[in-house]
Amino acid sequence: MASEFTPGEIMVAAAAREIRDGEVAFVGMRLPLLAFCVAKRTHAPQAVGLFEAGVIRDAAPPSMLYTMCDPPNIAGAAGCVPMLTLMSVLQRGDVDVGFIGGAEVDRYGNLNTSYIGSYEAPKVRLPGSGGAADIACLARRLVIIMPHERRRFRTRVDYVTSPGFGAGPGWRAHVGLPGGGPSALITTMGVFEYDRAAGEAVLRSCHPGVTVDDIRRESGDLVFRVDTTEPTAGPTAEELSIIREYDPTGFWTG
């Protein structure tokens, strides 16, 4: 069963299911570009997608997107507005769910996309925030998507680019962040949800062919709780058809 779809494809399907019908989704790059298309064409036809460059879509793009600024994302858009105007939708609290990724994530859902190592003498310089910090601070809930590799999971990230639950329970309220913080972490091995009272990840499901022990071995220093788990539901035939229609060569999902 697991060989019928790639880890990227099951991640797209899982991410699409995080978008509810009628919601406003801040889409982000890479796999969320596909997840929005799947959601729009299946269970969430009334969802609206916001793209950081200033694009607003109430219909799925007609074809593959390599970046949010590709012509298929502009054609038929509900609106193309200045970036500041789009970001103000976040500031008003009108974004239901935002998607971001990171190089590192820690036990409280904080993400690093800036530096590996010290700020003064980093071992690696990463791309930085873009709009990720805004999404993490202001969206009503946050979905994190990233590969599952030991080096990415830390007790504490080297640099907090995009805050999750900060230093732990109550931190977001203490510093005045209006957004709800992380609600899910989707990886190449499983899906976690966040206990918002504790600020920590709870393993929800393992992808087909993956066990809890496999995830523990590959989770580095990440602290997470295991209550009950089940296999992640693979893409349906319809979801898989849509994913492969948009990504026929596996550019994003191969």
19-32: pLDDT as tens digits = 999 999 999 889 99
Packing angle of the helix pair 31-41, 237-246 (nearest 10 deg): 130
Q: How confident is the model at residue 3 (pLDDT cuts 50, 70, 90)?
A: low
Asked if residue 236 is part of any domain, the answer here is yes
Closest CA relative to residue 201, chosen from 149, 135, 161, 153: 153
Asked if residue 113 is part of any domain, the answer here is yes
Asked if residue 173 is part of any domain, the answer here is yes
Distance between CA atoms of 194 and 185, rounded to whole angstroms?
8
Q: How confident is the model at residue 245 (pLDDT cuts 50, 70, 90)?
A: very high
pLDDT of 27-49, one tens digit each? 988 999 999 999 999 999 999 99
pLDDT of 79-120, one tens digit each? 999 999 999 999 999 999 999 988 999 999 999 999 998 888
Asked if residue 254 is part of any domain, the answer here is no
Residue 163: what residue type?
A: P
Alpha carbon 252 to chain centroid distance?
14
Distance between CA atoms of 235 and 240, rounded to whole angstroms?
6
Asked if residue 251 is part of any domain, the answer here is no
Asked if residue 148 is part of any domain, the answer here is yes
User: Which of helix, strand or coil describes residue 100?
Assistant: strand
Asked if residue 63 is part of any domain, the answer here is yes
Percent of the chain with pLDDT over 90: 85
Q: Would you please indicate which residues are annotated as catalytic (active-site) residues?
A: 52
Tokens of 23: 């919601």
CB 86 within 8 A of CB 48: no
β-pair type (48-51, 24-26): parallel
Asked if residue 110 is part of any domain, the answer here is yes
The pLDDT score that the predictor gives to residue 1 is: 38
Could you tell me the CATH number of the domain that includes residue 234?
A: 3.40.1080.10
Domain count, the chain: 1
Residue with tokens 């997470």: 224
* Average pLDDT of span 139-163: 94
CB 45 within 8 A of CB 230: no
Where are the extended beta strands (E) located within 71-110?
79-80, 97-100, 104-106
* Residue with more model confidence, 178 or 46: 46
Q: Is the pLDDT reported for residue 8 higher than 70?
A: yes
pTM for this model (two decimals)? 0.93
CA trace torsion 23, 185, 36, 135 (10° rounding): 60
Q: Which domain holds residue 55?
A: 2-246
Residue 198 CB: number of other CB atoms within 10 A? 14
* Average pLDDT of span 130-139: 93
User: Which of helix, strand or coil describes residue 155?
Assistant: coil
CB 17 within 8 A of CB 34: no
Distance between CA atoms of 237 and 254, rounded to whole angstroms?
17
